[in-house]
């Protein structure tokens, strides 16, 4: 109907443009269950994991939001009763990585195998991204090979390379070819969403830690998303161990 505005279009603009520290938008009234889940997905994409948690009832999306916050134990519990398909296995692998659990590589490889079997390109790209993170410190060349598969999958799907994968790739390239790594980081930065892991990792690769810190705090992003960039790290890094105070949501 002419003159009627899709509430999710307005919400998307609000989520992406609100200033740091401002009151967050509330969920528009009258949304269907499917629209509410779409709103939660927009919140997560826009770097608002607590809003996503408040709005979603979908276990995988809840787990993804919890992992942004570093709440890996709760994320694992959320996934407990779900069938172990590629995406659920990948979320479990990310939780294990955050907990520094020795099963993280095995789970990641399992997620990659299932994604290949199922033809799930998005899950495969995410799996090789995590695999690259896990391999980077000890096997940088293996990390490059793993990430190259994600680039090939995106090409076969006719899509641009995933910014999170590109940001991890930039860190893998930096030790071997600084100029190439920085070029990749610029690509990742240009394609990344504000307040998300790709943006933070790209800024770190470009040696812009203050901006990375601001993005991480604004998105309440757990340090576990970037500690792989710190050689021999015990889980600490130059960025904060915990996000800044949560913002208030408008009722």
Q: Is 234's pLDDT higher than 90?
A: no
Tens digits of residue pLDDT in 129-164: 999 999 998 898 999 999 999 999 999 999 999 999
Tens digits of residue pLDDT in 177-218: 999 999 999 999 999 999 999 999 999 999 999 999 999 999
Range of the domain at 134: 83-159
- Record the pTM: 0.87
- Among the candidates 69, 92, 123, a domain finishes at 69
Q: Does the residue 240 lie in any domain?
A: no
Tokens of 235: 């889980």
Interatomic CA distance for residues 238 and 231, integer angstroms? 12
Which residue from 236, 229, 231, 178 is spatially nearest to 200, judged by alpha carbons?
Answer: 229
Q: Does the residue 76 lie in any domain?
A: no
Considering only residues 175 and 200, tell me which one the structure prediction assigns the higher pLDDT.
200
pLDDT value of position 30? 82
The total of structural domains in the chain comes to 3
- Which residue, chain included where needed, has tokens 């998303």? 225
DSSP label of 248 = P
pLDDT value of position 227? 94
Q: What percent of the chain has pLDDT over 70?
A: 86
pLDDT value of position 16? 74
- Among the candidates 12, 46, 69, a domain finishes at 69
């Amino acid at each position: 109907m002419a003159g009627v505005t899709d509430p999710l279009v307005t919400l998307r603009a609000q989520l992406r443009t609100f200033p740091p520290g401002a009151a967050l938008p509330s969920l528009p009234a009258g949304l269907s269950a499917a629209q509410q889940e779409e709103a939660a997905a927009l919140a997560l994409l826009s770097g608002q994991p607590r809003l996503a948690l408040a709005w979603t009832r979908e276990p995988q999306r809840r787990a993804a939001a919890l992992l942004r916050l570093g709440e890996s134990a709760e994320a694992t519990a959320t996934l407990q009763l779900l069938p172990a398909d590629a995406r659920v296995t990948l979320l479990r692998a990310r939780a294990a990585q955050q907990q520094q659990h020795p099963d993280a590589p095995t789970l990641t490889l399992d997620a990659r195998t299932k994604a290949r079997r199922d033809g799930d390109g998005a899950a495969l790209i995410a799996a090789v991204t995590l695999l690259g993170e896990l391999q980077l410190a000890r096997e940088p060349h293996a990390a490059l090979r793993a990430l190259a598969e994600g680039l090939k999958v995106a090409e076969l799907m006719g899509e641009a390379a995933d910014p999170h994968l590109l940001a991890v790739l930039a860190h893998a390239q930096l030790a071997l070819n600084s100029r190439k790594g920085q070029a990749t980081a610029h690509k990742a930065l240009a394609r990344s969403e504000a307040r998300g892991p790709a943006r933070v990792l790209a800024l770190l690769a470009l040696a812009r830690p203050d901006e990375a810190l601001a993005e991480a705090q604004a998105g309440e992003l757990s340090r576990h998303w970037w500690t792989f960039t710190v050689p021999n790290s015990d889980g600490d890094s130059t960025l904060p161990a915990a996000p800044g105070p949560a913002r208030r949501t408008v009722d």
